[in-house]
Amino acid sequence: MNIQMATASSSLSQTQKKMDTIANNIANVNTAGYKSREATFQNLLTRTYENQTGEATEPGRQTPENLRVGFGSKVGITSLRYEQGSAQETGRELDVMLEGENVYYRVQNGEDIHYTRDGSFEFQNENNALTLVTSSGNAVLDVNGNAITFATPPGKLSISDQGDIQAENGQTFQLSVAKINRPQSLVNEGGNEFSLNAADGNAVVSEEFKTRQGFLEMSNVDLTKQTTDMISTQRLLQFQSQAIKMADEMMGLANTIKR
């Protein structure tokens, strides 16, 4: 009964993590450029070294030495789903949709370089200069790694399919787009931005992309699938809660009989 309760309580906390992942996906179903995440489970295995090893201390042991089987399950990985989202026409000249596999805009966040698929850009006025920023207020970078800043009002902007920005006042820039070799190495930093775990992946300048001015890439969240997953996960939570309750009642009954 103790094993039953331990297994159910362990699985309960891990199932709640999956529910949190689903809830976050649903909450961002209308967020431009958002990439959904999917939590997957694995059996809980715990390796313990030099702990009661040998036939003398564990007679009849069948599993390998130094291997202990834990209780319940855990979230093994929360993988990023990087499929292209649907296109939504806005007609706004600072909305720029990015098309391409594993490509992201490079933006400046403090001292760090972040990556985003959200192309809903804005102008930020700093000392009479207009800097192109993301919806989070971080500067959008050009191919030289500098913030895209217009010294004078740019007037009408024209953005080509290859990310070339042509302002009415004659200034030109090119959006910096990076290809992430291993998308799963991206670390969610909030604000629809990612940092890159350099130990697991790297980013290279890419030309394998297309930009579309006046459009936004919407999230790739499949609301029908997320709703179905949410219902099944809720049932798992209910089952595990019921298992804990039953184990508690059985332990109470056993204690009553003992007395």
Q: What is the pTM of this model?
A: 0.75
Do residue 226 and residue 209 come from a single domain? Answer: no
Do residue 94 and residue 212 come from a single domain? Answer: yes
Which range of residues forms the domain containing residue 254?
Answer: 2-82+221-258
Do residue 70 and residue 91 come from a single domain? Answer: no
Question: What's the mean per-residue pLDDT of the chain?
Answer: 82
Do residue 229 and residue 199 come from a single domain? Answer: no
Do residue 213 and residue 235 come from a single domain? Answer: no
Do residue 107 and residue 211 come from a single domain? Answer: yes
Identity of residue 29: V
What's the CA angle centered on 23, arms 182 and 217, to 5 degrees? 55
Bridge partners (DSSP) listed for residue 41: 75
Task: Say which residue, 255 or 196, is predicted with more confidence.
Answer: 196
Do residue 76 and residue 161 come from a single domain? Answer: no
Do residue 146 and residue 212 come from a single domain? Answer: yes
Question: What is the percentage of the chain residues whose pLDDT exceeds 70?
Answer: 80
Domain count for the chain, please give it: 2
Do residue 91 and residue 211 come from a single domain? Answer: yes
pLDDT surpasses 90 at 70: no
Please report the pLDDT score of residue 47 as a whole number: 45
Do residue 237 and residue 162 come from a single domain? Answer: no
pLDDT surpasses 80 at 213: yes
Confidence of residue 63 (pLDDT cuts 50, 70, 90): low
As a whole number of angstroms, the distance between CA 126 and CA 139 comes to 12
As a whole number of angstroms, the distance between CA 109 and CA 107 comes to 6
pLDDT surpasses 60 at 235: yes
pLDDT surpasses 70 at 84: yes
Is residue 217 a contact partner of residue 98, using CB atoms and an 8 Å limit?
Answer: yes
Do residue 115 and residue 197 come from a single domain? Answer: yes
Residue count (the chain): 259
Do residue 15 and residue 135 come from a single domain? Answer: no
